[in-house]
Amino acid sequence: MQIAETIRRISYSPSICACIGRLGLRGFMQRLYALISGNAGTAKLSLNNVEALFSAQTPFELRCVEGTWFSEREVLSAVQKRLNPGDTFLDVGSNLGIFTVFAAKAVGPQGTVVACEPETNAHNRLRKNIEINQLHNVRPLKLALSDRCSIKKLLLGDAGTVVQSAHLSDAEGPFEVVQTADYDSLIANEGFPTPHVVKMDIEGHEYVAMRGMRGVLSSPSCVALFCEVHPSALPSGISAADVVKLIESFGFEPISTRKRGAEFQVTALKPPREVRILTS
């Protein structure tokens, strides 16, 4: 049985999800939703005539895939339209890999996607989704981008929620120890490619991570940055306006912002490049 699109959207309403959580019915409703939707172990998503598969082995995985899809589809479409065959895409905070997979299809076999996801469960789902789409142009990295190479504490979010909210923090709570790196050093020391398009969603660490990739973001080759800014989780003394000002210093213009809940979505562009014709 197919669930109508409107029913799917209603089921992902933040207010309805919050109400279900308060009632302690989250697991039951996830199982019921998977049963009604006829979950077959994978979810097929289509964007601008490009199809991709995502692992949905459990009711929770299905909700993670669809929840990310409904919340990020507009930005994902904008990212997809900015990518050319042969480009490099950097996905900072890949989560389960929806941006990674569609970007890998957009840049093609001669392009590259670098996907950074430090949280173990999300990283495993990322690798699984790369595998089931038979992608060979993705470099999945189990690390967090920051302003230096180090070892830090990754505070884990609520394991039962659809939204991946793990973030670097010294606060109390369940955590895992993860490796961090600045992308400029990965380019200089390990030969990583300079990305043409960057997507970043890392729960408040975006300001620090961008400081660690000044060279990348200032490069004329890097023509688009899509960043979600989390004002309440930014370092002490840093505001959303400071993040935008930092982005401006890299030469992006125009820069647009859109408020979404407690966060801001930032789209920063540089003059468009000519489309390159690749030859074998």
Residue 211 CA to residue 190 CA, distance in Å, equals: 19
pLDDT in tens, 255-271: 999 998 889 999 999 98
Residue 243 has pLDDT above 50, yes or no: yes
Mean pLDDT confidence for 222-251: 95
Residue 42 has pLDDT above 80, yes or no: yes
Q: What is the pTM of this model?
A: 0.85
Q: Is residue 240 part of a domain?
A: yes
Q: Is residue 68 part of a domain?
A: no
Domain assignment of residue 254, given as a range:
73-269
pLDDT in tens, 210-225: 999 999 999 999 999 9
List residues bridging with 91 in a β-sheet: 115, 199
Mean pLDDT confidence for 102-118: 97
Q: How many domains does the chain have?
A: 1
Residue 82 CA to residue 103 CA, distance in Å, equals: 10
The pLDDT of residue 18 is 60
Average pLDDT of the chain?
A: 86
More confident residue, 275 or 211: 211
Residue 208 burial (10 A CB sphere; 0-12, 13-18, 19+): buried
Given a contact cutoff of 8 angstroms between Cβ atoms, the answer to whether 132 and 42 are in contact is yes
Q: Is residue 197 part of a domain?
A: yes
Given a contact cutoff of 8 angstroms between Cβ atoms, the answer to whether 93 and 32 are in contact is no
pLDDT classification of 158: cutoffs 50, 70, 90:
low
Least trusted range by pLDDT, from 65-69, 128-132, 176-180, 213-217? 65-69
Q: Is residue 250 part of a domain?
A: yes
Q: Is residue 12 part of a domain?
A: no
pLDDT classification of 28: cutoffs 50, 70, 90:
low
Max mean pLDDT among 30-34, 65-69, 169-173 falls in 65-69
pLDDT in tens, 52-93: 999 988 877 888 888 888 889 999 999 999 999 999 999 999
Q: Is residue 61 part of a domain?
A: no
Residue 29 has pLDDT above 80, yes or no: no
Q: Is residue 279 part of a domain?
A: no
- Number of CB atoms found within 10 A of residue 40's CB: 10
Specify the CATH number for the domain of residue 219: 3.40.50.150
Q: Is residue 86 part of a domain?
A: yes
